[in-house]
Structure 1
């Protein structure tokens, strides 16, 4: 019974620590917009790459389970 109390106490301490870390990170101010613009450009490029190199655009077909076993 004591070990359960210790375990739940540790879980509670870890949860409180994670909440404190996340709340502290959210309050950080951005000094300039350059980093945000770099991230936005990366997201846009990733979206373009996903649509350009999808199975439908590359092979003109949708992916199936048999694609995993296709031999070159």
Structure 2
């Protein structure tokens, strides 16, 4: 019983720490050009990855009757 309480205490502490960290950071904008270029490069890379590794491009097959929910 005590170990379960310790487990929940640790999980609660981690959740509070994460929430505090995220709220403290806020949604601040990048202040220098290097940071903006890094953000843009990551955004472009994420877009390219989503396009390159999508199900349609990976399997290279036309949709079947089971894939009608995509239309």
Give TM-score, length-normalised by structure 2.
0.48
Greater gyration radius: 1
